[in-house]
Structure 1
Amino acid sequence: MTALNDTASLARLGFNAFFAKQVTADEADLLVRRISSVHRDRLEAIDSTGAVEIELPPNSNTADFAVGDWVLAAPYTGLLVRRLDRQTVLQRRTEGAFGQQLAAANVDTLFIVTSCNADFNAARLERYLVMANEAGTRPVIVLTKADTVDNASVYADEAKGLQRDLPVVIVNARSPEAIDPLMPWCGPGQTVALVGSSGVGKSTLVNTLAGHNGETAQKTGAIREHDAKGRHTTTARSLHAIASGGWVIDTPGIRTLYVSDITDGIDTLFAEITELAPHCKFRDCSHSHEKGCAVQAAIKEGTLDAERLERWRQLQAENRDRTPVYSGPKGNKTLRKKKY
């Protein structure tokens, strides 16, 4: 059992001052545990001793929890008392849903995995970057299957141009040395998560990072040659220890990632447009036809790519249209979708 006073053991699991200051004096005797997997009817957790039981209170909904969450549990019974506030949270909106679907919590770095083939898609990578920016995690582009192309640096250069100061690394997911270029983000107590399309090598990379093989390995699947799309092999999110002392969360492949309620994430992704906008003549400039538009001026000068502006415009429109709004009399708000 791991109590709050065992700070060294908790730190190895990723517990830090942000979480510690949330625990009140009355809760000092409660057990601190981290959610390692979420299922429809149960939660699994870990502490410094390994896997531990978590007993859910009546009428609990496991959908309210994410892999990586920190919780307090009662001694002896293991009954969940409460969840601590999240430092970061990865979530996405699914088609036709009002609420956000939780993907992972308290992630320090998000590895956005794509391969050097037909899966590489700048517009889709930008959606993942928006997701990471909004969550407050550090994004890193991880390029796999470099051995299938003559010059992987072409993909790396394009990826680096998607966001300012964006780290991009090329790895051979199956090689034990794959962890070497990722080590800056996989140190003791650090938590990383992997996202990307099916078939790009996420599960293979998780197996390499966690040292899994045989029965403990995450399942991997082949990809179709004509479009580089793969089958979903990871169906649940789970937390795995990395040999270097960090933690990695695998996630199911995402075919469609909708943007919704993520204005700050878009502003960070398109920082060059965000910084130019205040210099436009009109406050509500659409950056399309207005006189005195600083963004259009940058395009004419060649310092801003016109395709970047177009993708910015598309994401802004989708974010506006898909973000639910609250309506109704004051004090009696109801959630509704915007009409297209």
Structure 2
Amino acid sequence: MSTSSLSSGSSTSSHPLAAYGWDEGWEAAFSSHADQGLLAGRVVRVDQGQCDVVTAGGTVRADTAFVTPHDPLRVVCTGDWVALEPGGTPRYVRAYLPRRSAFVRSTSSKRSEGQILAANVDHAIVAVSLAAELDLARVERFLALAWESGAQPLVVLTKADLVADPLTLSHLVEDVEGAAPGVRVLAVSSLGGDGLDVLGAAVTGGTSVLLGQSGAGKSTLANALIGEEVMRVHATRDVDGKGRHTTTTRNLLALPGGGVLIDTPGLRGVGLWDAETGVGQVFAEIEELARECRFHDCAHGAEPGCAVLAAIDDGQLAQRRLESYRKLQRENQWIVAKTDARVRAELRRDWKRKGAQGRAAMELKRGRHA
């Protein structure tokens, strides 16, 4: 290793923002902004056109008016690295650095828009409460979005203290592992502390986003990982294990052992957003079996020589997994088709507008020469 690279590595590790993920890559990406006298910072919270940004000199409030495009996937988001004006009232964000990863879901809007929940994430922690009956299909849905984001998923079964029988807890973990191939599954108790040391070690040194339904125990888990009560907690209902939205904004918090955590509001809806690769990753065993089917376009319905159906018949694959796979595939194809149709419609409107402008210009030109 050269002396220059050693010097560069040392400078980034001792940088005031190193605790928030600053490294040589971000330093290189920011160099052109530094030349303009702008300051580097990481967005820790976004709220109605304003954001809190942690900088080398502390946390400042900034306006995002200059980086608020019409595309909802390009707005400033918690986890973004940004270039700030060095001063001024109000202070403005002038740019954000290209994202390494982004967790995106579709909104409930009829306009088929995507919503970015967190940026530059290394680990996606899917919190699932053991206070309610396991919904494996929902776990698979979260994992599809997590894989698609570019982050490494991790499933955390919260409130493990509510499961008194160790054998029952072991079976619950095994059930989730069956729905999450290639993903680590941990059972933890935020109140008792069980499993927190393992989880803390797993997320040290990177950026983690905490995802799950309201009442999954995300805020309690965030407090346990941080070591102090920084997130307000509401009790869940005894009837169904659900809770009110404790977290209303996405907040980026530094972990005492290194790394940062982004806590998110409880998600009622988890719609896919162009997650073909993520769905394939969640159901890797089905896609691998499909390669052995007699027909390359096999729908795994009643076709002869279907390796997927054969795997179900011999107990190698659960019917529930195939049904969940089909559902997520259909949903993803629908959202992609709908989005493409919207783009085509926008292009057509643009062509019509330009065509009308061209005709008006020609008529004006003819009138001048008449």
CA distance in 2, matches of 1:329, 1:179: 49
Choose the corresponding residue for 1:231, options 233, 244, 251: 244
Residue in 1 aligned with 2:142? 128
Match of 1:72 in 2: 83
8 Å CA contact 1:18, 1:87 repeated in 2:
no
Q: Deviations over 1:34-54 (max 9, x none)?
A: 000000131111024431233
Q: Residue 179 of structure 1 contacts residue 209 of structure 1 at CA under 8 Å; is this kept in 2?
A: yes
**Alignment partners' CA distance in 2, 1:171 and 1:309:** 29
1:251 pairs with 2:264: yes
Cα distance in 1 for partners of 2:56, 2:178 equals: 41
Q: What does 1:130-279 correspond to in 2, within 5 Å?
A: 130-149=144-163, 150=165, 151-175=168-192, 179-188=196-205, 190-213=206-229, 217-279=230-292
Preserved CA contact (<8 Å) 2:273 2:335: yes
Residue-by-residue CA offset, 1:82-114 (whole Å, 9 max, x unaligned): 111111101111222422111111111111111
Greater shift, 95-104 or 321-330, is seen at: 321-330
Give 1:136's aligned amino acid. G
Q: CA deviation at 1:186?
A: 2.8
Structure 1 residues 124, 76: closer, same or farther in 2, change over 3 A? same
- Change in CA separation of 1:11 and 1:59 when aligned onto 2, cut-off 3 Å: closer
Structure 2 residue aligned with 1:39: 47
Structure 1 counterpart SS, 2:116: strand
TM-score by length of 2: 0.81
Fraction of identical pairs, as percent: 35
> What's the counterpart of residue 338 of structure 1?
none
Give the drift of 1:301: 2.7
1:285 aligns with 2:285: no
CA distance 1:65–1:26, change in 2 (3 Å): closer
- The TM-score with structure 1 as length reference comes to 0.88
For 1:107-161, what per-residue CA distance to the aligned partner results, in whole angstroms no more than 9, with x for missing partners? 1111111121325210111111011011011111111111212232121111111
Aligned residues: 328
Alpha-carbon distance, 1:209 to partner: 1.5
- Aligned-partner residue type, residue 98 of structure 2: D
Instruction: Summarize deviations over 1:236-261 as a string: whole Å, max 9, x none.
Output: 11111111121111101012212231
Q: CA deviation at 1:270?
A: 0.3
Identify the residue that residue 100 of structure 1 maps to in structure 2: 114
> Rg bigger for which structure?
2
- Specify the code of the residue in structure 2 equivalent to 1:132: A
Following TM superposition, by how much is the alpha carbon of 1:303 offset from its aligned partner in structure 2, in angstroms?
A: 1.8
Aligned twin of 2:131: 117
Distance between the aligned counterparts of 2:218 and 2:349, measured in 1? Answer: 39
Matched, 1:326 2:340: yes
Which amino acid in 2 is paired with 1:253? Answer: G
Q: Please identify which structure carries the higher helix content.
A: 2
Counterpart residue identity of residue 200, structure 2:
M
Partner deviation per Cα, 1:176-211 (whole Å, 9 max, x = no partner): 5653011233323x1111111111211011111122
Deviation at 1:6, TM superposition (A): 5.2
Distance in 2 between residues matched to 1:45 and 1:288, nearest whole Å: 52
Question: Contact between 2:40 and 2:83, CA under 8 Å: does it hold in 1?
Answer: yes
| Contact 1:171/1:181, CA 8 A, preserved across alignment | no
Tell me how far apart the structure 1 counterparts of residues 259 and 30 of structure 2 sit (CA, whole Å).
23
Q: Distance in 1 between matches of 2:155 and 2:143?
A: 9
Contact 2:298–2:306 (Cα < 8 Å) also in 1: yes
